[in-house]
């Protein structure tokens, strides 16, 4: 039976966990006491041999061997190896528990989608949920020793009512080299499809919902099968076991009390303790860690903290049959609730919990934050582009560099001479700066005008389309000036002939 102590640790208090240290069932003492006694006996025998039976020369040799073994224990990464292994085992243990199939969702869907108060409808609902429970029993027989001891043969499964004799004949007539836990799930789908044809399932949406819930149930059965099939790699378990046993084999030799080799160093020798407390604690922790992993690596056994699979089978069958049969359309009368005329419902408290009503409800972490008392800080303003913006010096350098289109204008003019049909941009007086708050670089503006003059001098007269761009002076004079205008000149026949002859 699983050892549960949840109520004992419901409230954190002084010495709360100390009450759990004296339990025997499911404790580390019960799990480790045999290995602990073996380690203590080996340590005591070696200590007596060193103290009473060895000669002085033999003691000198043993001291060197013990020192070597004691230094070798530092080379075994016990915390890393054991910590990672136990973490992996614990995650796998919890994942196996969540993979145990529970029929709660499936039974609710069956009760709501499979209709009929007559005997046929009742048989249909009970058969569907029985097939689901039969599938879980078959898979648990394959992975749990407790369930296999309860249902050692198929005769016991039939006698328990999970399967009829006719269903057993059908089951055994299907030959397969693999586990056949999935056969009742296929019976479920065929029976659900027949119920849809007979009108017991009203529409295809309800049938789809029924099949989807069954697939989720079957997927959990499949996960149990795969967890039982694919174990933690054996080499990893062997590495951890060898690391723990070799570590404490070195400790048995290296943690003994040693007499100094030089009699003059007798004053500096360690304290002679017949019982090595720190070494025993180390064994208790590390070996206990390994035993925890050994216990939960397969939680479908018969250890104290293994899963109670037989209780789960009983619970699932009883609850599921009750849900699809006795509770089908067996509704209590509905009426006005107690808080019908109240705008805010407030359930009553007992005297033991009345103090909780004095605590205010949580409204948010900033609800009690103190704001500035200055009324000017609470005034609302609208965001406007005219508000000053702050730029860092580095950002200003980028903005100023971005305002210089000298290279692009030069390349644009050259490409325009090769293609006469492209539009050519000519600035009459220069381009305005993209950022009106920053002054233009005179050197950059002069470079633009010089390059434009060179392009105009070297380029032949061609029909072009002019884009009039206002100068910075015109742009800064306000809205009374006219907006930039685009003038398109149609090429005359004479200019076209001149261009063709030039080409």
pLDDT of residue 384: 65
Partners of 201 in the beta sheet?
114
Res 8: pLDDT:
86
Rounded to 5 degrees, φ, ψ at 487 are -110, 125
CB atoms inside a 10 Å sphere around CB 124: 22
Q: What residue ranges in 259-415 does DSSP mark as E strands?
A: none
Q: How far apart are CA 257 and CA 242, in angstroms?
A: 25
Question: One digit per residue, pLDDT tens: the chain, 503 residues?
Answer: 678 888 888 888 888 888 888 888 889 999 999 999 999 999 999 999 999 999 889 999 999 999 999 999 999 999 899 999 999 999 999 999 999 999 999 999 999 999 999 999 999 999 999 999 999 999 999 999 999 999 999 999 999 999 999 999 999 999 999 999 999 999 999 999 999 999 999 999 999 999 999 999 999 999 999 999 999 999 999 999 999 999 999 999 999 988 776 666 655 566 777 888 999 999 999 999 999 999 999 999 999 889 999 999 999 999 999 999 999 999 999 999 999 999 989 899 999 998 988 888 888 988 888 888 888 888 888 876 665 555 555 555 555 554 444 444 444 444 444 444 444 444 444 444 444 444 445 554 455 455 555 555 455 444 444 444 444 444 444 445 455 554 545 555 555 554 555 54
Contact in structure between 311 and 109 (CB atoms under 8 Å): no
Confidence at residue 369, expressed as pLDDT on a 0 to 100 scale:
85
What's the pTM value of the predicted model, to 2 decimals?
A: 0.71
Neighbouring residues of 369: CB distance < 8 A, sequence distance ≥ 6: none
Instruction: Decide: 321 and 126 in contact? Cβ < 8 Å.
Output: yes
Report which of 365, 347, 367 is spatially closest to residue 357, judged by C-alpha positions: 347
Two structure tokens written together for 334: 């509905």
- Which H or E run contains 467? strand 466-467
Greatest CA separation for the chain: 128
pLDDT at residue 415 in the model: 45
DSSP 229-288: HS-S-HHHHHHHHHHHHHHHHHHHHHTS----SSGGGGGGSPP--SS-HHHHHHHHHHHH
Q: Residues 235, 237, 243, 246: is their CA dihedral positive or negative?
A: negative
């Amino acid at each position: 039976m699983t050892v549960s102590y949840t109520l004992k640790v419901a409230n954190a208090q002084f010495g709360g966990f100390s009450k759990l240290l004296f339990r025997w069932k499911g404790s580390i003492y019960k799990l480790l006491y045999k290995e602990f006694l073996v380690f203590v006996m080996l340590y005591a025998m070696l200590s007596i041999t060193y103290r009473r039976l060895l000669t002085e020369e033999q003691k000198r040799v043993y001291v060197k061997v013990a020192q070597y073994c004691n230094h070798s224990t530092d080379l075994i990464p016990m915390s890393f190896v054991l910590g990672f292994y136990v973490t992996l085992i614990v995650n796998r243990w919890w994942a196996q528990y969540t993979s145990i199939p529970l029929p709660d969702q499936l039974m609710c869907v069956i009760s709501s989608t499979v209709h009929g108060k007559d005997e046929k409808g009742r048989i249909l609902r009970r058969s569907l949920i029985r097939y689901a429970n039969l599938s879980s029993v078959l898979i648990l027989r394959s992975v749990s020793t407790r369930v296999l001891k309860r249902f050692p043969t198929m005769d016991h499964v039939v006698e328990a009512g999970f399967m009829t004799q006719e269903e057993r004949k059908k089951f055994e007539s299907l030959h397969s080299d693999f586990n056949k836990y999935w056969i009742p799930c296929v019976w479920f789908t065929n029976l659900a499809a027949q119920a849809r044809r007979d009108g017991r399932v009203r529409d295809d949406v309800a049938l789809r919902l029924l099949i989807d819930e069954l697939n989720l149930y079957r997927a959990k059965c499949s996960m149990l099968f795969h967890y039982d099939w694919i174990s933690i790699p054996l080499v990893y378990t062997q590495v951890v076991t060898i690391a723990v046993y070799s570590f404490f084999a070195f400790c048995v030799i290296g943690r003994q009390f040693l007499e100094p080799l030089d009699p003059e160093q007798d004053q500096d020798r360690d304290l002679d303790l017949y019982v090595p407390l720190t070494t025993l604690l180390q064994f208790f922790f590390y070996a206990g860690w390994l035993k925890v992993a050994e216990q939960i690596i397969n939680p479908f056994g018969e250890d104290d903290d293994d899963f109670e699979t037989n209780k789960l089978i009983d619970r699932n069958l009883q609850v599921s049959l009750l849900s699809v049969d006795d509770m089908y359309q067996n509704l209590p009368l509905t009426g006005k609730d107690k808080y019908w005329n109240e705008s805010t419902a407030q359930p009553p408290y007992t005297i033991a919990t009345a103090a909780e009503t004095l605590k205010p409800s949580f409204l948010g972490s900033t609800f009690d934050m103190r704001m500035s008392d200055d009324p000017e800080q609470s005034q609302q303003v609208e965001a406007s582009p005219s508000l000053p913006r702050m730029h860092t010096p580095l950002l200003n350098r980028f903005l100023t560099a971005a305002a210089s289109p000298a290279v692009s204008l030069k390349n644009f003019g050259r490409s325009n001479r090769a293609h006469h049909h492209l539009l050519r941009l000519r600035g009459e007086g220069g381009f305005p700066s993209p950022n009106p708050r920053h002054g233009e670089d005179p050197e950059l503006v002069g470079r633009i005008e010089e390059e434009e003059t060179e392009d105009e001098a070297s380029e032949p007269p061609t029909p072009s389309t002019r884009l009039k761009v206002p100068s910075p002076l015109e742009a800064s004079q306000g809205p009374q000036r006219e907006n930039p205008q685009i003038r398109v000149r149609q090429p005359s026949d004479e200019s076209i002939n001149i261009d063709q002859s030039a080409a």
